[in-house]
Amino acid sequence: MDTPLASIIRTTQPARRYPDPGKHSPAAPPSRTIVIVGAGFSGSVVATNLLRLPHKQPLRVVLVDRRPMARGVAYAERRYRYLLNVPAGRMSASSADPAEFLTFARRSLPDSMPDDFLPRELYGQYLESLLAHAALAAPPHVRLVRVRGSVIAIDRTHRSSVLQVYLHDGRRIVANTLVLALGNPPPAPLPGSEALQSSSKYVKDPWEAPPEFHSGETVLIVGTGLTMADVVLAGNEGAKGKAVIHALSRHGLVPPPQAPFRDLCDEPDGASLKQAAAISIRRLVRTVRRLSDDIELRGGDWREAIGFVRTLAPTLWSCLSPGERKRFLRHVRCYWDVHRHRLPYATWSALNELRREGNVHVIAGRLLRLELVGRHVRATWRTRGASDQTTMLVDRVINCTGPLYDARKSEERLLRSMIAQGIAVPDPLGLGLVTHEFGALMDASGRAADNIYYVGPMLRPRHWETTAVQELRTHAEQLAYHLAAANQARALHPTGPSSDVLGFSIDPTGGNALAAM
Ligand SMILES: Cc1cc2nc3c(=O)[nH]c(=O)nc-3n(C[C@H](O)[C@H](O)[C@H](O)COP(=O)(O)OP(=O)(O)OC[C@H]3O[C@@H](n4cnc5c(N)ncnc54)[C@H](O)[C@@H]3O)c2cc1C
């Protein structure tokens, strides 16, 4: 009988021979090995913290990514100079040193101020430098190993035993602990986009290959949030303002600008928010509105109310009943998102200028279908509040609807295989994965894994707000502390399995592929 993993590997990689993990008893690594899949913000910050913490027992931290290390999607090197959406003073990867990023930025941009919106690429350099310094400063028994590649599956023969981590090219890493830091999934496909998949007229994920517009081109962007703004400004640079852009979303809401951050003089009443959440989402919305009005009456800004509610988000989320959570997702989420995820002022005003000049048109409506018609795409939508349909021929369609967190619909091979094996469980509201403390994955039988963790935006089912650096750094730090403590405890009670020489079991058909690290 095939194990589920063996059958997944067989159907997806027919040309390669893998050992049957069900029959194979993997050699354990010589020192404890923590494999982190994904070296974007979350994975890099877990690794950096692990390298900095004290360890009595030898530890190897293996960081695997299919992209360049310590960049992820958000902070990659790109042709356009995208700006961070959050001021420099709030982007530290360390909660112990809130000015860490600003200090780093001032080495190349000496005039940087805490309220400045700095280039995202610079933030990627900062993450790279944190990781490199932590690796250099770590004692000899604590090592970082970087692996370039795509993880497609894992297997654990027995619960709590060592894990085998399979890469797309046949390499296999043996791990004691696995951390999944896979980042934001791509957007959901648009209606009718299946027929356009192979066409250059449809961009299914703007971060895979950010598009450049041509002069005279008509572009339909589906989605009107932060990604839309990035795509409009970057794409429009090539078209020199001569492309016509239509941006469509159900509510047609465009994010407002950020404003200078102030600390609240008086701490608002968090207890009343918690009480309201325990009653209903309607009551909670009313209480947040009142809080915002109060702050504005005292000369403050509504953003401060949103900022305060955000700090309480995990508690408020846990107070809401399952039915009220559904109501929130259905009726309130889009308003929360648009107020919570704001644009840097420069991006907002550049976008507004394009709207004033008639280059960008924002439409509230629901996309019904896309069809390829000769050299164009025909888009059909229903405008919000109207019963008839609108049709338009465009040169290109760009999907900016944002990440599809519903793990049941994930196209990520690793996640699909873990769900098929019952190692990972999608949450029923379509927000991500079911996790326990420190992001431990809950399996299909309802047990929390003690050696498989998740960190990143798919922690939403448990905490709600888990997209940005401010929240993710806390989760990454807490997980690193937890793993370091577990490593320490195992050092005092050495019950680990015996080890092989290299610490890695590499499939012979994959060759010595770790040389590619
Ligand atoms: C364009 C953009 C801009 C943003 N700007 C900001 C901002 O200014 N401020 C802010 O606070 N937040 C911002 N965010 C939010 C962002 O989600 C977080 O800041 C953070 O970058 C998320 O980190 P992550 O590690 O979870 O995901 P990512 O940084 O996306 O990293 C995930 C990594 O996992 C790798 N990976 C995935 N699957 C596999 C696999 N199977 N095998 C190998 N590797 C794999 C990917 O290649 C990727 O490098 C932005 C997000 C985006 C998309």
Give 159-175 pLDDT, tens digit per residue: 557 899 999 999 999 99
What is the rounded average pLDDT for all residues in the chain? 88
Asked if the model's pLDDT at residue 435 lies above 70, the reply is yes
Token pair of 298 as six digits: 């005292």
What pLDDT is recorded for position 255?
Answer: 97
Asked if the model's pLDDT at residue 377 lies above 80, the reply is yes
Q: Whose CA is nearest to atom 49 of ligand 1?
A: 72
Distance 481 CA to ligand 1 centre (A): 21
What pLDDT is recorded for position 322?
Answer: 95
Give me the torsion for CA of 454, 460, 461, 464, rounded to 10°.
140
Q: Write out pLDDT tens, residues 78-111.
A: 989 999 999 999 999 999 999 999 999 999 999 9
Pairing of strands 151-156, 389-394: unpaired
Q: Write out pLDDT tens, residues 411-422.
A: 899 999 999 999
Q: Whose CA is nearest to atom 4 of ligand 1?
A: 74
What pLDDT is recorded for position 487?
Answer: 81
Ligand 1 atom with least separation from CA of 413 = 41
CA distance 514 to 517: 5
Distance 183 CA to ligand 1 centre (A): 4
φ and ψ at residue 219, rounded to 5 degrees: -120, 135
CA distance 431 to 428: 8
| Across 354-379, average pLDDT | 95
CATH class of this structure's domain 31-80+120-184+469-505 = alpha beta
Of the listed ranges 5-9, 192-196, 257-261, 275-279, the one predicted with least confidence: 5-9
Question: Is the CB of 376 within 6 Å of ligand 1?
Answer: no
By most ligand atoms within 8 Å of CB, the mutation choice from 41, 102, 148, 453 for ligand 1 is: 41
By most ligand atoms within 8 Å of CB, the mutation choice from 182, 345, 471 for ligand 1 is: 182
What pLDDT is recorded for position 367?
Answer: 97
Ligand 1 atom with least separation from CA of 149 = 43
| Across 415-443, average pLDDT | 96
Question: CA dist 457 to 88, 475, 510, Å?
Answer: 21, 10, 32
Asked if the model's pLDDT at residue 502 lies above 50, the reply is no
Is residue 37 within 8 Å of residue 173, measured between CB atoms? no
- When pLDDT is cut at 50, 70 and 90, the band that residue 481 belongs to is very high
Asked if the model's pLDDT at residue 30 lies above 70, the reply is no
- When pLDDT is cut at 50, 70 and 90, the band that residue 492 belongs to is low
Distance 139 CA to ligand 1 centre (A): 29
| Across 261-274, average pLDDT | 79
CA distance 93 to 476: 9
Q: Which residues have a Cβ under 8 Å from the Cβ of 327 and sit 6 or more positions away?
A: 280, 281, 282
Question: Is the CB of 483 within 6 Å of ligand 1?
Answer: no
What pLDDT is recorded for position 28?
Answer: 53
Q: What fold, for 193-256+343-399?
A: FAD/NAD(P)-binding domain (3.50.50)
Is residue 235 within 8 Å of residue 213, measured between CB atoms? yes
- When pLDDT is cut at 50, 70 and 90, the band that residue 505 belongs to is very low
By most ligand atoms within 8 Å of CB, the mutation choice from 469, 470, 479 for ligand 1 is: 469
CA distance 83 to 112: 13
**In three state form, how does the secondary structure of 67-127 look?**
CCCCCCCCCCCCCCCCECCCCHHHCCCCCCCCCHHHHHHHHHCCCCCCCCCCEHHHHHHHH
Question: Is the CB of 37 within 6 Å of ligand 1?
Answer: yes
What pLDDT is recorded for position 229?
Answer: 97
Asked if the model's pLDDT at residue 18 lies above 80, the reply is no
Question: Is the CB of 26 within 6 Å of ligand 1?
Answer: no
Amino acid at 475: H
- When pLDDT is cut at 50, 70 and 90, the band that residue 304 belongs to is very high
| Across 195-222, average pLDDT | 90
pTM above 0.85, yes or no: yes
CA distance 134 to 457: 24
What pLDDT is recorded for position 314?
Answer: 95
| Across 273-299, average pLDDT | 95
Q: Can you list the alpha helix ranges (DSSP code H) found in 365-445?
A: 413-421
| Across 67-71, average pLDDT | 96
Is residue 90 within 8 Å of residue 84, measured between CB atoms? no
Asked if the model's pLDDT at residue 500 lies above 60, the reply is no
In this chain, the answer to whether the domains covering 31-80+120-184+469-505 and 193-256+343-399 adopt an identical fold is yes
Residue 430's CB: how many other CB atoms inside 10 A?
15
CA distance 39 to 69: 5
Question: Is the CB of 43 within 6 Å of ligand 1?
Answer: yes
Of the listed ranges 25-34, 257-266, 296-305, 349-358, the one predicted with least confidence: 25-34
Residue ranges covered by each domain of the chain: 31-80+120-184+469-505, 193-256+343-399, 270-340, 426-450+459-466
Ligand 1 atom with least separation from CA of 90 = 11
Ligand 1 atom with least separation from CA of 123 = 8
Task: Go through 111-132 and write b for each residue having 16 or more CB atoms within 10 A of its CB, e for each that does not.
Answer: ebeeebbbbbbbbbbbbbebbe
What pLDDT is recorded for position 27?
Answer: 55
Is residue 347 within 8 Å of residue 336, measured between CB atoms? no
Question: Is the CB of 66 within 6 Å of ligand 1?
Answer: yes
What pLDDT is recorded for position 19?
Answer: 37
What pLDDT is recorded for position 507?
Answer: 35
What pLDDT is recorded for position 514?
Answer: 37
What pLDDT is recorded for position 159?
Answer: 56
CA distance 313 to 144: 34
Rg of the chain taking only CA atoms, in angstroms = 24
Residue corresponding to tokens 């960049």? 71
* Percentage of residues of the chain with pLDDT beyond 90: 78
CA distance 334 to 318: 20
